[in-house]
């Protein structure tokens, strides 16, 4: 059965009014702003009231280096929350907001899967409460204001070749990657080279996700560097005089969105920045609210733990003011085999030797998380044809490391399939631990990078391209070197080579550029090229989607 079919059947029969979900969390009807019967934003007044509450425990869900199909982090996170909910715990999930682009392309939605889904599934994957659209509007309004500044005399002396701020669409549209704009003569703009990103790749998404409230959002927007002048002085939004207008466009987008799982567990879905050129976590506002509303807050971070968890711990946690009390590391037999050297087409076959080889990848992630001082539980996300002996092998290998590994069948069974995981996580939550930060703000940028490369990736050293060396100088000259780093790297390997699977060592990380994101508050360390505007495949998902006269949708994944 398709995910959308499971979701729509449930929505017709069992979904609860969002006001009921809110009431169970102690929110009054006045404190939620409904978007239809099953979605709501939490009001600013409610958020302010919550700030006085004590925090619950925080669980971070992350994963080993995945196969290109993904290993089901969101599905496991949903299933874990449902399992705790069934056990009578007050669990609140905080997830990322899906992008519309992939829905029409290949990847499909991002609301979990099977019986571990968040609903209303179609709405969340399409326009939801309009956050992505508000961001798209704000990013493009700012871009239009920059080009208008050029057109109207360029009082700030902006160098049209050094405009950093790109337009965005929440669409997979490769034809917009490289464009020439401002053509058609003097009344139609100043000609220049430009390009569009997908909305979630914009710095403004990261800004929204790291802002603590509307006031902090405004300050971060004011600081965004949109361009450089002819003499290389940074030009900020503040200098353009449009901070208020851009902030206004996000006045509702900053409020977290409340929805529910198929099992009526409350979920905050809010914000979804890229996990390479940004930090790949849902918003600070949503995670903080989940901590205040629940006894346990469960959240996730994009890609494998080398990217997602590292950025959660080194970028998001300092803003949040809270580190995880336990980490769930999601693995699958197929990802272990893939890391063990098996080709994609052969991942279905039983191959315990490959599982054993690929375990090196899982082992390093466990080690990395333990370096931070965090209790780790491994969740083996089970597929229908998984071999029981291989499942046992992974559990045994983990036990050898002193780590509990638990098979979960939440896709097929919902919360019931996550009961053992919930028990293991609760055990981990009661463990004494002391968080150890990886690096400090005051370390030189090169040292921060070297630390992440050695301690997390297991690499040897770092090579800087000429462009990256120049960027380091700019960063120091402008006093941006206190910012944490955000490495843009392949998600398939600890190294910067997507084919170097498992647990490689002695490799060099090649830094091609370092891009300061002063509004978001991090330095993007580029390793190779990152595609920030995806394309559509030969047979796009759009060709399989349909809707009938009654609004019933088919073909949406």
Residues recognised as catalytic: 73, 75, 96, 107, 275, 303, 383, 411
In this complex, which beta carbon is closest to its own copies, that of residue 343 or of residue 549? 549
In this complex, which beta carbon is closest to its own copies, that of residue 198 or of residue 456? 198
- If binding is defined by CB under 8 A, does position 550 make contact with its own copies? yes
Of 97, 147, 306, 513, which one interacts with its own copies (CB under 8 A)? 147
CB of 512 to its own copies, least distance (A): 17
- Binders in 194-213 for its own copies, by CB under 8 A: 195, 213
* Whether the Cβ atoms of residue 368 and residue 360 lie closer than 8 Å to each other: no
Residue 419 DSSP code: H
- Binders in 35-94 for its own copies, by CB under 8 A: 35-37, 41, 44
- If binding is defined by CB under 8 A, does position 174 make contact with its own copies? yes
The token pair at 67 is 């196969």
Of 23, 106, 145, 443, which one interacts with its own copies (CB under 8 A)? 145
- If binding is defined by CB under 8 A, does position 164 make contact with its own copies? no
Of 87, 106, 190, 420, which one interacts with its own copies (CB under 8 A)? 190
Residues facing residue 92 across a β-bridge: 297
The strand pair at 404-408 and 376-381 is best described as parallel
Q: How far is CA 406 from CA 151, 302, 382, 554, in A?
A: 61, 21, 10, 34
Q: Is the dihedral of CA 454, 459, 460, 461 positive or negative?
A: negative
Of 176, 262, 297, 428, which one interacts with its own copies (CB under 8 A)? 176
Binding-site positions for ATP: 67-74
The token pair at 353 is 């030797």
CB of 127 to its own copies, least distance (A): 5
In this complex, which beta carbon is closest to its own copies, that of residue 81 or of residue 242? 242
- If binding is defined by CB under 8 A, does position 181 make contact with its own copies? yes
* Whether the Cβ atoms of residue 475 and residue 445 lie closer than 8 Å to each other: yes
Q: How far is it, in rounded angstroms, from Cα 271 to Cα 254?
A: 9
HEC letters along 300-367: EECCCCCCHHHHHHHHHHHHHCCCCCEEEEEECHHHHHHHCCCCHHHCCCCCHHHHHHHHHHHHHHHH
Q: If 0-12 CB within 10 Å is exposed, 13-18 middle and 19+ buried, where does residue 36 land?
A: exposed
- If binding is defined by CB under 8 A, does position 106 make contact with its own copies? no
- The greatest distance separating any two alpha carbons of the chain, rounded to the nearest whole angstrom, comes to 71
- If binding is defined by CB under 8 A, does position 238 make contact with its own copies? no
Of 143, 286, 293, 403, which one interacts with its own copies (CB under 8 A)? 143
The token pair at 162 is 């050094």
- If binding is defined by CB under 8 A, does position 220 make contact with its own copies? no
Q: Binding segment for its own copies among 51-59, 150-158, 317-325, 433-441 (CB under 8 A)?
A: 150-158
Q: How far is it, in rounded angstroms, from Cα 302 to Cα 34?
A: 28
Binding-site positions: 67-74
- Binders in 246-285 for its own copies, by CB under 8 A: 246-249, 251-252
- If binding is defined by CB under 8 A, does position 530 make contact with its own copies? no
The length of the chain in residues reads 557
Of 171, 376, 471, 525, which one interacts with its own copies (CB under 8 A)? 171
Question: Among 30, 60, 75, 105, which Cα is nearest to 543's?
Answer: 105
Question: Among 187, 170, 75, which Cα is nearest to 131's?
Answer: 170
Q: Binding segment for its own copies among 51-59, 123-131, 257-265, 438-446 (CB under 8 A)?
A: 123-131
Helix (H/G/I), strand (E/B), else coil: 457: helix
- If binding is defined by CB under 8 A, does position 444 make contact with its own copies? no
Of 93, 242, 267, 393, which one interacts with its own copies (CB under 8 A)? 242
Phi, psi at 235, each rounded to 5°: -110, 120
- If binding is defined by CB under 8 A, does position 110 make contact with its own copies? no
- If binding is defined by CB under 8 A, does position 144 make contact with its own copies? yes
In this complex, which beta carbon is closest to its own copies, that of residue 36 or of residue 68? 36
- If binding is defined by CB under 8 A, does position 157 make contact with its own copies? no
Q: How far is it, in rounded angstroms, from Cα 502 to Cα 341?
A: 8
In this complex, which beta carbon is closest to its own copies, that of residue 431 or of residue 543? 543
Query: Is the bond into 120 cis (omega within 30 degrees of 0)?
Result: yes
- If binding is defined by CB under 8 A, does position 428 make contact with its own copies? no
- If binding is defined by CB under 8 A, does position 547 make contact with its own copies? yes
* Whether the Cβ atoms of residue 383 and residue 333 lie closer than 8 Å to each other: yes
CB of 129 to its own copies, least distance (A): 8
Q: How far is it, in rounded angstroms, from Cα 62 to Cα 312?
A: 10
- If binding is defined by CB under 8 A, does position 134 make contact with its own copies? yes
Q: How far is it, in rounded angstroms, from Cα 363 to Cα 369?
A: 10
Q: Residues touching its own copies: how many (CB under 8 A)?
A: 80
The secondary structure element, H or E, covering residue 381 is strand 376-381
CB of 16 to its own copies, least distance (A): 14
CB of 187 to its own copies, least distance (A): 7
Helix (H/G/I), strand (E/B), else coil: 266: strand
In this complex, which beta carbon is closest to its own copies, that of residue 13 or of residue 152? 152
- If binding is defined by CB under 8 A, does position 465 make contact with its own copies? no
- If binding is defined by CB under 8 A, does position 469 make contact with its own copies? no
- Binders in 16-35 for its own copies, by CB under 8 A: 33-35
């Amino acid at each position: 059965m398709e995910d959308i079919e499971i979701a729509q059947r449930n929505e017709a029969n069992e979904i609860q009014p969002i006001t009921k979900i809110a009431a169970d969390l102690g929110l009054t009807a006045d404190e939620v702003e409904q978007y239809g019967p099953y979605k709501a934003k939490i009001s600013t007044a409610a958020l302010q009231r919550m700030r006085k509450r004590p925090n619950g425990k925080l669980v971070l869900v992350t994963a080993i280096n995945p196969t290109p199909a993904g290993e089901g982090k969101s599905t496991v996170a949903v299933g874990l929350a449902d399992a705790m909910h069934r056990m009578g715990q007050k669990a609140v999930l905080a997830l990322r907001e899906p992008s519309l682009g992939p829905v029409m392309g290949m990847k499909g939605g991002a609301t979990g899967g099977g019986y571990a889904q968040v609903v209303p599934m179609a709405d969340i994957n399409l326009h939801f409460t309009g956050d992505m659209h508000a961001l798209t509007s704000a990013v493009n309004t700012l871009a239009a204001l920059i080009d208008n500044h050029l057109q109207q005399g360029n009082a700030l002396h902006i160098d049209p070749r050094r405009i950093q701020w790109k337009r965005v669409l929440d669409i997979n549209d490769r034809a917009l990657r490289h464009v020439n704009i401002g053509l058609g003569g003097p009344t139609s703009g100043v000609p220049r080279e430009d390009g569009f990103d997908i909305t979630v790749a914009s710095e403004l998404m990261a800004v929204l996700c790291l802002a603590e409230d509307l006031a902090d959002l405004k300050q971060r927007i004011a600081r965004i560097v949109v361009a450089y002048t002819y003499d290389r002085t940074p030009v900020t939004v503040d200098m353009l005089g449009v901070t208020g207008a851009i902030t206004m466009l996000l006045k509702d987008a900053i409020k977290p969105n409340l929805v529910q799982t198929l099992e009526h567990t409350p979920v905050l879905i809010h914000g979804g920045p890229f996990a390479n050129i940004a930090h790949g976590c849902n918003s600070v506002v949503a995670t903080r609210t989940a901590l205040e509303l629940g006894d346990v807050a469960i959240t996730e971070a994009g890609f494998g733990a080398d990217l997602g968890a590292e950025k959660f711990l080194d970028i998001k946690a300092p803003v949040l003011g809270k580190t995880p009390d336990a980490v769930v590391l999601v693995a699958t037999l197929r990802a272990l085999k893939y890391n063990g050297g098996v080709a994609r087409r052969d991942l279905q076959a039983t191959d315990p030797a490959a599982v054993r080889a690929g375990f090196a990848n899982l082992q390093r992630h466990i080690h990395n998380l333990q370096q931070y001082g965090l209790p780790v539980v491994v969740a083996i996300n089970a597929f229908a044809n998984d071999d029981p002996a291989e499942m046992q092998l992974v559990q045994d290998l983990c036990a050898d490391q002193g780590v509990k590994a638990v098979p979960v069948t939440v896709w097929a069974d919902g919360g019931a399939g996550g009961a053992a995981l919930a028990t293991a996580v609760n055990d981990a939550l009661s463990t004494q631990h002391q968080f150890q930060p990886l690096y400090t703000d005051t370390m030189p940028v090169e040292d921060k990078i070297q630390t992440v490369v050695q301690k997390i990736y297991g690499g040897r050293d770092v090579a800087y391209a000429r462009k990256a060396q120049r960027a380091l100088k700019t960063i120091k000259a402008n006093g941006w070197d206190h910012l944490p780093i955000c490495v843009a790297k392949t998600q398939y390997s600890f190294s910067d080579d997507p084919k170097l699977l498992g647990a490689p060592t002695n490799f060099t990380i090649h830094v091609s550029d370092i891009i300061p994101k002063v509004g978001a508050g991090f330095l993007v360390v580029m390793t190779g090229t990152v595609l920030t505007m995806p394309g559509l495949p030969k047979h796009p998902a759009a060709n399989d989607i349909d809707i009938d006269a009654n609004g019933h949708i088919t073909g949406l994944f």
